[in-house]
Chain A
Amino acid sequence: MTEPAKAQGAKAQNTKAANALELKDLSVAYRVAGRNRAVLRNLSLTIGQGEAYGLVGESGCGKSTAALAVVRYLPRNGSISGGAISLDGQDVMKLDAEALRRARAESVSMVYQDPGKALNPSIRIGRQLTEIFELAGVTGKAAEDRAIAMLNRVRISDPPSVMQRYPHQLSGGMQQRVAIAMALANDPSMLILDEPTTGLDATVEAEVLDLIAQLRQELSASILFISHNLAVVSNMCDRVGVLYAGMLVEEGPTEVVFNDPRHPYTVALLRCLPRGGQRKDQGRLDTIPGFLPGIGAAIKGCAFADRCALADERCRTELPPLYDLGDERGARLSRCHHHDKAQALPRATPSEVATPPKPVAQPVLRVAGLNKTYASHGHPLRAVKDVSLDLKPGETLGLVGESGSGKTTFARLLLGLVPPDDGGTIELEGKALAPKLENRGDDQVKAMQIVFQNPDSALNRSHSIRHLLSRALKRLAGLSGKALETRLEDLVRSVRLTDRHLAVKPRQLSGGLKQRVAIARAFAGDPRIVVCDEPTSALDVSVQAAILNLLADLQAKEDVSYIFISHDLGVVRYLSDKIAVLYLGRIMELGPSEAVFSGPHHPYTEALLSAVPKLDQTGTARIRLDGEIPSAVNPPSGCVFHTRCPRKIGPICEQQEPPLADAQPGHAIRCHIPYAELARLQKAGVTELA
C-alpha cells in the first residue's frame, strides 16, 4: 500500500469515529398482545461531533424510542429488530453487558422531561451528585468540590446550600438544572435531551434553553434534542430530522427545513401553528386530517399518504426513498415522491371565516374587586387580589401568566367552584352571582361552563360518551326523551364527532376526540361563557389546531364568550380579543389583544413575550427573568414584580404599588413607568438593558 492510500485509509477511519452517533437502518419493535409492532422503521441518522440534532414529530412517532434505543435501554417488551448503532465509532449492538454499562455511565447522558421523577426524592441533591463522581473513582472532598463546580456550571447560585436540599425543595427549573448538572457530571460525549422543557413555564423554559445553549459552547458534547415543540428545536439545533410513524421523512439544516419544508407532513405541521400574530378573524388554522398510523400498522407506500392531499397512486404503493435534494445550504433529505411541490399542499381546512361584525353590547360578565385569600400555615395567601374586568358577548378574554399567577383560581372563582372573599362582585348579564355554586340558580349555572385542561380527568372514565352528553343535556338543557336524542345528534355533529363515538368510553378515544366531547358537554346548555383552562396543552399541534378552529367556529355561531387560559401565547393571541396578564394574583396589564401583544406593554408582559421560543425569531436580544415567581404568602412590597423587573426605575417600585391605570383608552398597565416612556424603552429594544 502506498503512503497516500494509507493516510487516506486512516483518515476514513477518523471521519467514521468523528460522528458522535450514527444510526443505520435502525428498526425497533414493541411486543404488544403477542405481536411485534414496528415503532422505528429503518431510521438512519448521523450526529457529528459537537452538533445539536433535533428530532421532532408528534407523540407516537417514535422519538423517545429512538433515544432509548441509542443505549439499548428499551422497555422490556421492546427489541431492536435490525440496523446498527454506533456511538463514537463504537458498535453499540456488539457491546457486552459490562461495556454497555460503561458506555451508559461514561459516554451518554440523558435528561428527561420530568426532573421531579429523575431525581431521587429522599436523597439530598449533594449526595446524588457526588455519587456520580464516586462511580468514577473520585471520593470525599474532591467529589464534593466537583459537585459544587458542576452546580456553578449550570448557573445555580449558592451551590453549597442547594447541595443540602432535597429535590422537592427546588423549583421545577432548578430541578431541571440539577438534572442537567448530573447529566454533564462525567463529561459525556453525547447528551440526549428528551423534551427537557416541556413541563416548565415559558420563562423557566427560556432560562433552561439559554443554559443549554451556553453549555454547548463550553462543552464538546453532541446533542440529540427531542421535542414536539418546533420552535424550541428551531432555536436550539443545527440540524433537524422530522419523524413520522417511526420513519425519517425529512432532514436538513434547521432553518432550511422550517423555512423551506419539502415534505407535506412538515409543511402541514408548520401550518398548524398560529404564527406571526395570526388571529381568529383572519382565518382558521390548517389541520392534518386523519390519524397517525397505529403502532405496528403495515405501511405500504408512503406512511403519510392517507392524510396527504398530494398523494397519488404511486404514493400509496411505492415507499418513497429519502430523496437527496442536494441543497447548497447543507445535506437535505425528503421522503416524498413529490418533494418539489410539497409546499403546494392544499389546505385541509379552508381558511375563510365569516366573522359578523359585532354589535356593541352590554358586557355579559362584569367582575369587580374580586379577591381570594387562602390560609397557608396560618398566613394569608392572596391567590387573587382585587381583580376587576368585564367581558362582552362573543369576546374572548385571554388569561396569561406563569404558573402560580392565579389564572386557574380566578376561573374557579367565576364558576363558583371556590367561593371568593367577601366584598367582590361577579355579575352575569347584569345579575349578581352568588359566591357559592350551590346558591346559584340553574340558569346561572348552565350559563357558565368549563373545558378542563385534561380530558382524562374531566370525563368520567366509567361512563360512555352517550351517557356523559345525555346527562349534560338533561341537567343543563332540561331535555329528555326524543328532544334529547335530537339535540344530542346536533351537539355531536357540532363538535365534529359521529354517532360511532357515542357508544364508547373516553379511554377508547384519542386526546383530541376526548377534548371534543368535553367541549360538547360544556356547550350542552347553550352557555353564555365558557372557561377554557389550557384546553390544548396536552394535545399535539395538529390536534390543537383543530380544537382551536372548533372553538373559534362555535364562538362565531353561538356568540359565546370565552375565558381562555393558556401558557402558549401564540394560542392565546389567536383566540383572544382581550388579554389580562396576571402576576401573583394581580392584573398587571389588561387591554385589547393587539395592544397588549404589540406593545408598549408592562415589563412583565414584555418578559413573557420575550421568553417564548419563536419559529420566525432571528437572534433578537431577549429579556430573561431571574429566579422564580415569589411566594404569594409573602409578596414583595410595592410593585410585586419589582424583584424580577428588568426595567425597575428605583425605590418607588419597592415602596408603592402602582395602580392599574389606563395608559390608553381600554388598555391599562400597572407600572410606575409612564406609558410614553415604556414605548420609548421598548422601541429602543433590550440592548440598553445589558
Chain B
Amino acid sequence: MSAVQTTSAPDDTRRRGPLAEVVFSLLRSRTFLVGIAIVLFWVVCAFFGEHFAPYDPLADDIINALSPPSAEHWFGTDQIGRDVFSRVIVGSRDILTVAPLATLLATVAGTALGLLTGYFRGIVDDIVSRILEAFMAIPVVIVALLAIVALGTSKTTVIIVIGLSFAPIIARTVRSAVLAERELDYVAAAQLRHESAFHTMFVEILPNVIPPILVETTVRLGYAIFAVATLSFMGFGIQPPSPDWGLSISSNYGMIGGGFWWTVLFDALAIASLVIGVNLAADGVHGAFND
C-alpha cells in the first residue's frame, strides 16, 4: 500500500472519505441490501401497519374464532377471532422499540466499560473483567426474573435486562480493540501532552474503535430481537393485549395440539424473518468494515 501512499498526494486528497467508502461498499453488498429491505419492511409495518391491516388487530370476533386461513382471513383467526394477518403486521411495533433501545443501552454501557478496561489495563481490567464475566455466566432469563421481582413488569424492565446482559459482550469486543489501539504511538503522544485519561479514551481512541462497535451493535440487535421475543413468550415485559409476536405465540401455542397451527406459525415466521434480516444487514456491515 505504501506504493499508493507515496505516489501522489494531490491525487489522494480527492479520494472519498472513509465513511463514504463504507457506505459505497454497503450499497454494493447484496447481503446488506436484502437484510435491510426485510428490516425496513417491518419498520414500515410498525409505523403504518394499522393503515393497511385489513382488520383491527384487537377486535375480537368470537363466532369466527380459530378459523383456518381463507380468502377472508389470510392467516386465519385466533382463539377469540382476531385476524392473525393484521396482528402479525402490527405486531412488530413493540419489539422494534424495545430491541433497538436495549441494544443502544448495551452499546453505550459496553463501550464505556470496554474503554475503561482496555485503557487502564492492570488491576482495573482484572476486577471489571472478572465481574463482567461472572455476569455473562448468568442466563438472561434468571436476570430477567430477578429484575421483574425488583422493578415490576414493563418494557423498561426488558430494555434494562437485555441492555445490561449484552453490555459485557460489547465491552469485551471494545476492550480488545482498545488494547490494540493503546499500543499505537498516538496514545503515547497524547500522554506527552499531559492529556487526561478521559480525553485520551473518548477523543483519541474512541473514534478509531467505532467500526468494531458498529459491527457488534448490529449483531447484538439480532440477538436482542430474539431475546425480546423470548421474554414476551415467557410473559415478561410486553403485556396483553399487545399483538406482539412473542406474546401471541405464548398465548396460542397450546392450540397447536388441536391442529390450529396458523395461530402460531405466522408470528414465528415474522420473528425469524426479522432476525434473519438484521443478521444479513450485520453481515453486510461487517464486510464493509473489513474489506
Tell me if chain B binds chain A.
yes
Q: Which residues of A (87-125) have their CB < 8 Å from a CB of B?
A: none
Interface string of A435-452 (1 = CB under 8 A from B): 001100010011011101
Interface segment, one of B51-59, B190-198, B222-230: B190-198
Interface residue A376 (Cβ < 8 Å from any Cβ of B) = no
Question: A50-65 vs B: 1/0 string, CB under 8 Å?
Answer: 0000000011100000
Q: Does A513 contact B (CB under 8 A)?
A: yes
State in angstroms the CA–CA spacing of A297 and B208 once bound together.
32
Chain A residues near B204 (CB-CB < 8 A): 460
Interchain CB contact under 8 A, A460 and B193? no
Give complex CA distance A417, B12 in Å.
34
How many Å lie between the Cα of A296 and that of B223 in the bound state?
A: 47
Q: Does A283 make an interface contact (CB < 8 A)?
A: no
Given contacts A458-B186, A475-B195, contact A293 B207 (CB under 8 A): no
- A interface with B by C-beta (< 8 Å): 58-60, 291-295, 297, 415, 417, 437-438, 442, 445-446, 448-450, 452, 454, 457-463, 471-472, 475-476, 500, 504-505, 507-513, 521, 538, 540, 543
Which B residues are in CB contact (< 8 Å) with A60?
2-4, 6-7
Closest chain B residue to A462 by CB distance? Answer: B207
Can you list 13 A-B contacts (CB < 8 A)?
A: A293-B7, A417-B188, A446-B193, A449-B192, A458-B189, A472-B193, A475-B195, A508-B9, A508-B12, A508-B13, A508-B15, A510-B7, A511-B2
Find out whether the CB atom of B186 lies under 8 angstroms from the CB atom of A459. yes
Q: Is the CB of B184 closer than 8 A to any CB of chain A?
A: yes
Docked Cα-Cα span, A437 to B187, in Å, equals 13
Beyond the given A457-B185, A460-B204, A475-B194, please list 16 additional residue pairs across the A-B interface where CB-CB is below 8 A: A59-B2, A60-B7, A295-B7, A417-B192, A452-B189, A462-B207, A476-B193, A507-B5, A508-B12, A508-B15, A510-B6, A510-B9, A511-B2, A511-B6, A538-B2, A540-B6
CB neighbours (8 Å) of B193 from chain A are 445-446, 471-472, 475-476
Taking a contact as CB atoms under 8 Å apart, the answer to whether B185 and A513 are in contact is: no
| Cα-based distance from A438 to B13 in the complex (angstroms) | 38
> A60-B2, A291-B10, A512-B6 known; A457 and B195 CB under 8 Å?
no
Q: Is B72 an interface residue (CB 8 A)?
A: no
Contact B192 A291 (CB under 8 A): no
Q: A59-B6, A450-B192, A458-B185 are in contact. Are A294 and B11 (CB under 8 A)?
A: yes
A449 surroundings in chain B (CB, below 8 A): 192
Partner of A292, one of B7, B185, B192, B194: B7
- Please measure, in the bound complex, the distance between the C-alpha atom of A437 and the C-alpha atom of B189, giving whole angstroms: 12
Q: Across the interface, do A295 and B3 meet the contact criterion of CB distance under 8 Å?
A: yes
The smallest beta-carbon distance between B197 and chain A, in angstroms, is: 10
**From B4, B18, B192, B204, residue with most partner A Cβ within 10 Å:** B192
- CB <8 Å contact, B185 and A291: no
Q: A58 — which chain B residues lie within 8 A by C-beta? A: 6
Q: How far is the CB of B14 from chain A (nearest CB, A)?
A: 9
CA distance A78 to B186 in the complex (A): 35
On whether A295 and B13 interact (CB within 8 A), knowing A459-B186, A462-B208, the answer reads no
Residue with the greatest number of chain B CB neighbours at <10 A, chosen from A291, A295, A460: A460
Contacts of A507 in B (CB 8 A): 5, 18
B208's nearest neighbour on chain A, judged by CB, is A462
Q: Are A452 and B6 in contact (CB under 8 A)?
A: no
Chain B residues within 8 Å of A472, by CB: 193
The 9 closest A-B pairs by CB, nearest first: A462-B207, A294-B8, A60-B3, A458-B185, A475-B193, A452-B185, A460-B186, A60-B7, A294-B11
The interface centre, meaning the residue of B9, B12, B15 with most chain A CB atoms within 10 A of its CB, is B9
Chain B residue at minimal CB-CB distance from A450 = B192
Contacts A295-B3, A461-B208, A504-B13 given; indicate if A437 touches B192 (C-beta within 8 A). Answer: yes
A460 contacts B208, C-beta separation under 8 Å: yes
Whether A291 lies near B9 (C-beta < 8 A) is: yes
Asked if A417 contacts B191 (CB within 8 A), the reply is yes
Choose among B8, B15, B207, B208 the residue that contacts A291 (Cβ–Cβ < 8 A).
B8
**CA separation between A510 and B12, bound complex, in Å?**
9
**Contact yes or no, B7 A415, CB < 8 A:** no
How far, in Å, is A488 (CB) from chain B's closest CB? 15
Which residues of A lie under 8 Å from residue B17 when comparing CB positions?
505
Q: Is the CB of A445 within 8 A of B192?
A: yes
Contact A294–B194 (Cβ < 8 Å): no
Q: Which residues of B contact A509 (CB under 8 A)?
A: 5, 9, 12
Contacts of B4 in A (CB 8 A): 60, 295
Give the complex CA separation of A518 and B41 in angstroms.
49
Q: Are B184 and A457 in contact (CB under 8 A)?
A: yes
Cross-chain contact B6 with A415 (CB below 8 angstroms): no
B192 and A415 contact, CB distance less than 8 A: yes
Instruction: Report chain A residues within 8 Å CB of B192.
Output: 415, 417, 437, 445, 448-450
B48 to A: closest C-beta gap in Å: 39
A294 to B12, alpha carbons, bound, how many Å?
9
By the criterion CB–CB under 8 Å, are B3 and A437 in contact?
A: no
Chain B nearest CB, measured from A265 CB (Å): 15
Complex Cα–Cα for A445 and B207 (A): 26
In whole angstroms, what is the CA distance A476 to B184 when docked? 20
Assess whether A457 is in contact with B9, with CB atoms less than 8 Å apart: no
State whether A513 touches B7 (Cβ < 8 A).
no
Distance in angstroms from B202 CB to nearest chain A CB is 12
Docked Cα-Cα span, A461 to B185, in Å, equals 11
Closest CB-CB distance, A353 to chain B, in whole Å? 27
Contact present for B194 and A442 (CB under 8 Å) = yes
Q: Is the CB of A510 within 8 A of B3?
A: no
Considering only residues 71-123 of chain B, those with a C-beta below 8 Å from chain A are none
In the complex, what residues of A have CB within 8 A of residue B208's CB? 460-462
Report the minimum CB–CB distance from B192 to chain A (whole Å): 6
B157 to chain A minimum Cβ distance, whole angstroms, is 37
CB distance from B231 to the nearest CB of A (A): 38
Are the CB atoms of B5 and A510 closer together than 8 Å? yes
Asked if A457 contacts B186 (CB within 8 A), the reply is: yes
Q: Which residue in chain A gives the minimum CB-CB distance to B197?
A: A438
In whole angstroms, how far apart are the Cα atoms of A379 and B7 in the complex?
47
- B189 lies within 8 A of A521 (CB): yes
Contacting residues, chain B, for A512 (C-beta < 8 A):
6
Chain A hits for B3, CB < 8 A: 59-60, 295
Instruction: Please state if B6 and A293 are interface contacts (CB–CB under 8 Å).
Output: no
Q: For B207, list chain A residues within 8 Å (CB).
A: 460, 462-463
**A-side contacts of B12, CB under 8 Å:** 508-510
| Nearest-Cβ distance from residue A53 to partner chain B, whole angstroms | 21
Residues of A with C-beta under 8 A to B5: 507, 509-511
CB distance from A501 to the nearest CB of B (A): 8
Contact across chains for B7 and A291 when beta carbons are under 8 A apart: yes
In the bound complex, residues from chain A placing their C-beta under 8 Å from that of B189 are 450, 452, 458, 521
**In the complex, chain A residues whose CB is within 8 Å of the CB of B185:** 452, 454, 457-458
Bound CA span A357–B261, Å? 96
Residue of B nearest to A245 (CB): B7
Report B-chain residues with C-beta under 8 Å of the C-beta of A543.
6
Chain A proximity of B151: nearest CB distance (Å): 39
Q: Nearest-CB distance from A479 to chain B (Å)?
A: 13
Complex alpha-carbon distance, A565 and B15, angstroms = 34
| In the bound complex, CA of A153 to CA of B9 (Å) | 46
Interface residues of B in 1-54 (CB under 8 A from A): 2-13, 15, 17-18
Chain A: minimal CB distance from B64 (Å): 59
Inside 8 A of A458's CB, which chain B residues have their CB?
184-186, 189
Q: How far is the CB of B250 from chain A (nearest CB, A)?
A: 46
Residues of A within 8 A of B13 (CB): 500, 504, 508
Known contacts A457-B185, A459-B186: A513-B9 contact under CB 8 Å: yes
A538 to B13, CA, bound (A): 21
CB-CB nearest in chain B for A512: B6
B198 to chain A, nearest CB (A): 14
Chain B residues with Cβ under 8 A from A442's Cβ? 194
Task: Check A297/B8 contact, CB under 8 A, given A60-B3, A460-B208, A461-B208.
Answer: yes
Question: Of A294, A454, A457, A505, which is within 8 A of B7 by CB?
Answer: A294
B191 closest partner in A (C-beta): A437
